[in-house]
Amino acid sequence: MAMTMTQKILAAHSGESEVVAGQLIEARLDLVLGNDVTAPVAIREFERIPGAAVFDRGKIALVPDHFAPNKDIESAEQCKAMREFARKHGIENYFEIGCMGIEHALLPERGLVLPGELVIGADSHTCTYGAAGAFSTGVGSTDMAAGMATGVAWFKVPSAIRFALHGGLGGWASGKDLILSIIGAIGVDGALYRSMEFVGPGVASLTMEERFTVANMAIEAGAKNGIFPVDEKTRAWAASVSNRPYVEYAADPDAEYERTITIDLSTIRPTVAFPHLPSNTRPASGSGVVAIDQVVIGSCTNGRIEDLRVAAEILKGRRVADGVRCIVFPATQKIYLQAIREGLIEAFIEAGAIVSTPTCGPCLGGHMGILAEGERAIATTNRNFVGRMGHPKSEVYLASPATAAASAIAGKIVDPEEVLEAPGRRG
Amino acid sequence: MENGSRVWKYGDDVDTDVIVPARYLTTSVPEELAAHCMEDIDSGFAKAVSPGDVIVAGGNFGCGSSREHAPIAIKASGVSCVVAASFARIFFRNAINIGLPILECPEAAAEAENGDRMSVDLASGMIRNLTRGTSHAAAPFPPFMRGIMDAGGLIAYVSAKSSAGSRKGS
Ligand code: SF4
């Protein structure tokens, strides 16, 4: 029986020669991830297992990023619980302040996720690593606890939707605009329980950063995972982060898909998701007059170096509009340092933006940029639910780094082309 | 229960940020989370909900973050079952893993109104709307998931397996 790429990886990790959609399997885990919100709950559950020990000290990653550096006493206690657990069990991949970053940018950067691997994380955006040709999916804390103890997890084998990409992105359009357009077209439950498999000649034109952005938001369409084939760009990236061996899996040519959605990348335009769902999309140029109070550039979706370069290219030599607060979050220490070396941080500060140490910060309404009642933000993050960035009566508009940076200058939501010339295609 | 349980009815795409807003995630104590359950969508819920009540919602219930705090808050608020047209994937997993009963039944979900009385039989999946005098059958859980639920959640299931010496993995 022909299998999708996701099914191939699941079969290989469950010791089956083949699996079919709907089948319940137990699969071997290559990595189990948790953060300062989900790990404390997982640790409590883990300790209820009699004689519990971790299955492999090298295959668990613990990242304090949501409320770290600790924003208050409660979050300090949560980070402490995670730190003490990491010490007690000799967890090799615990990332203390100083070497931390937002988990989904940090793990790939550290070479902890490679093609063909199977990763669960107690964080819904764990699906990000599909960009690397891995199967990765978000689970809850109890799954994380059981995974840490046993090294296996149960899965229902998903069916898949195939996204056939052609052509290339033009102008200021980016991977973020592609995934926002897809979610706008299929809805927040358009891929519920399913895999989103991205294939076709257009894949080669997307940078690794763009693939991470696209896979990151698969969950916003309800998907179990989003996954990209392994190509030259993936191999070059993998070689740059790790020398561990890995296995490449590819979908069978006759694999079954529930449907195929064909997308000409050259038709994708800068896109904005209006409150309060990521599927509530419009072209940025058709936003009307939406004045903004805050701009957030960063997060696990768009806090990578390429994202910061685009934002800096737009902000350099210009000024953030009066009355607008522009907050930039590099996703990891390494990205932060690189941005300093390239002069991006200087460009942000001279434009009137502020730059924060890596943290999830305002993305989840945690700290470092919370919205008051009635305030509006345009953000490069991935969710714009009610109250996501602060007050239940505040609003979040999701967009690309280019659209967010251009909007910061305009003081209202704009298509970057409205204030700037279109660039040549980057990357 | 003869009189059935009170229905708290919500629409489609109820996300985990409204079930438990992230601003309360600095705690994982079930009772504290329950005090803010549904706060951003229904500020009266946490105070008025009674043990045994049922949440009924449309499609994609529990979408958004992976926070187990969401089903934990619902369970700690005394809700006996969530009936929805469909559940978001991670919420579905989490509910089974922590032992919060959930049933997928689009017909029962579409028909119920806020304040209806409902009785739910988890063993058979039968959902009776006493206010409307109707019954609908939800699809029963596959045996594998019943095993986890019957053990009292995933941790008890794993504990039983490891003490039986059948631990898998590599
Ligand atoms: S940046 Fe936002 S979406 Fe990403 S892990 Fe942090 S809170 Fe979650």
CA distance B121 to B7: 15
Q: What is the pLDDT of residues B68-119, one digit of tens each?
A: 899 999 999 999 999 999 999 889 999 989 989 899 999 999 999 999 999 9
CB contact (8 A) between residue B94 and residue A143: yes
Among all chains, which residue has been given the structure tokens 């007050």? Answer: A391
Question: Left, alpha or beta for A106 (phi > 0: left; psi -120 to 50: alpha)?
Answer: alpha
> Which residue did the predictor score with more confidence, A270 or B22?
A270
Q: Is A329 helix (H, G, I), strand (E, B) or coil?
A: coil
Looking at the complex, does the CB of residue B158 fall below 8 Å from at least one CB of chain A? yes
Atom 4, ligand 1: which residue's CA is nearest? A300
Instruction: State the burial class of residue A377 (Cβ atoms within 10 Å of its Cβ: 0-12, 13-18, 19+).
Output: buried
Where do the CATH 3.30.499.10 domains begin and end in chain A?
5-264, 270-419
pLDDT at A290 (0 to 100): 97
CA distance A356 to A343: 15
Q: Is A33 helix (H, G, I), strand (E, B) or coil?
A: strand
Option in A48, A122, A387 nearest B66 (CB): A122
pLDDT at B167 (0 to 100): 40
Atom 6, ligand 1: which residue's CA is nearest? A360
Residue A168 C-alpha from the chain's centroid: 22
Per CB-CB distance under 8 Å, the chain A contacts of B40 are 386-387, 392
CB contact residues (below 8 A), chain B span 99-138, against chain A: none
Its pTM stands at 0.90
Query: Closest by alpha carbon to A152, among A292, A312, A15, A345?
Result: A15
Residue A215 CB neighbours (<10 A) = 29
How does DSSP classify residue A105? H
First-to-last C-alpha distance (Å) of chain A: 38
Query: Closest by alpha carbon to A391, among A220, A271, A219, A275?
Result: A275
Which ranges in A29-111 belong to alpha helices (H)?
39-46, 73-88, 103-109
Option in A49, A78, A140 nearest B97 (CB): A140
Phi, psi dihedral angles at B48 (to 5 degrees): -95, -15
Verify whether ligand 1 is closer than 6 Å to residue A216 (CB atom): no
Q: Are strands A160-166 and A195-199 parallel, antiparallel or unpaired?
A: parallel
pLDDT at B166 (0 to 100): 44
**Mutation for B interface: A56, A77, A126, A189, most B CBs within 10 A:** A189
> Which residue did the predictor score with more confidence, B146 or A185?
A185
Confidence band, pLDDT 50/70/90 cuts, at residue B150: confident
Taking each helix axis from N to C end, the angle separating A305-315 and A401-410, rounded to the nearest 10 degrees, works out to: 30
**Which two tokens mark B169?**
């993995």
Q: Which residues contact A424 (CB under 8 A, 6 or more apart)?
A: none
pLDDT at A419 (0 to 100): 84
Does B65 score more than 90 pLDDT?
Answer: no
Looking at the complex, does the CB of residue B142 fall below 8 Å from at least one CB of chain A? yes
> Hey, which residues does A297 pair with through a beta bridge?
A328
Looking at the complex, does the CB of residue B62 fall below 8 Å from at least one CB of chain A? no
Looking at the complex, does the CB of residue B43 fall below 8 Å from at least one CB of chain A? no
pLDDT at B147 (0 to 100): 82
Residue A158 CB neighbours (<10 A) = 25
**Which two tokens mark A256?**
């079954």
Verify whether ligand 1 is closer than 6 Å to residue A102 (CB atom): yes
**Which two tokens mark B158?**
């794993």
CB contact (8 A) between residue B65 and residue A152: no
Looking at the complex, does the CB of residue B154 fall below 8 Å from at least one CB of chain A? yes
Substitution candidate for ligand 1 out of A33, A102, A136, A329 with most atoms within 8 A of CB: A102
Q: Is B2 helix (H, G, I), strand (E, B) or coil?
A: coil
> Which residue did the predictor score with more confidence, A269 or B168?
A269
Does B141 score more than 90 pLDDT?
Answer: no
Looking at the complex, does the CB of residue B97 fall below 8 Å from at least one CB of chain A? yes
C-beta separation of B33 from B22 below 8 A? no
CA distance A129 to A113: 7
C-beta separation of A403 from A416 below 8 A? yes
Query: Closest by alpha carbon to B6, among B61, B60, B44, B39?
Result: B44
C-beta separation of A397 from A275 below 8 A? yes
Confidence band, pLDDT 50/70/90 cuts, at residue B2: low
| Degrees, nearest 5: CA angle B61-A49-A34 | 50
> Hey, which residues does B102 pair with through a beta bridge?
B82
Does B168 score more than 70 pLDDT?
Answer: no
> Residues A197, B11, A393, A359: what is their CA dihedral angle, to the nearest 10 degrees?
-30
Substitution candidate for ligand 1 out of A364, A368, A370, A383 with most atoms within 8 A of CB: A364
Query: Closest by alpha carbon to A273, among A409, A353, A388?
Result: A388
CA distance A371 to A361: 12
Verify whether ligand 1 is closer than 6 Å to residue A123 (CB atom): yes
Question: Left, alpha or beta for A187 (phi > 0: left; psi -120 to 50: alpha)?
Answer: left
Q: Which residues contact A364 (CB under 8 A, 6 or more apart)?
A: A66, A383, A388, A389, B22, B25, B65
User: Could you tell me where the beta strands, DSSP code E, fall in A319-374?
Assistant: 325-328, 354-355
**Which two tokens mark B136?**
């609908």
Looking at the complex, does the CB of residue B59 fall below 8 Å from at least one CB of chain A? yes
Substitution candidate for ligand 1 out of A65, A128, A332 with most atoms within 8 A of CB: A65
> Hey, which residues does A328 pair with through a beta bridge?
A297, A355
CB contact (8 A) between residue A365 and residue B23: yes
Which class does domain A5-264 fall in? Answer: alpha beta
CB contact (8 A) between residue A122 and residue B18: no
| Complex-level ipTM | 0.86
C-beta separation of A393 from A368 below 8 A? no
Query: Closest by alpha carbon to A141, among A155, A158, A124?
Result: A124
pLDDT in tens, chain A (427 residues): 899 999 999 999 999 999 999 888 999 999 999 999 999 999 999 999 999 999 999 999 999 999 999 999 999 999 999 999 999 999 999 999 999 999 999 999 999 999 999 999 999 999 999 999 999 999 999 999 999 999 999 998 999 999 999 999 999 999 999 999 999 999 999 999 999 999 999 999 999 999 999 999 999 999 999 999 999 999 999 999 999 999 999 999 999 999 999 999 999 999 999 999 999 999 999 999 999 999 999 999 999 999 999 999 999 999 999 999 999 999 999 999 999 999 999 999 999 999 999 999 999 999 999 999 999 999 999 999 999 999 999 999 999 999 999 999 999 999 999 988 767 555 4
R_g of chain A, CA atoms, integer Å: 21
Half-sphere exposure of A7 (CA within 13 A, CB side): 23
Per CATH, the homologous superfamily of domain A270-419 is Aconitase, domain 3 (3.30.499.10)
Sequence length of chain B is 170
Residue A299 CA to ligand 1 centre (angstroms): 6
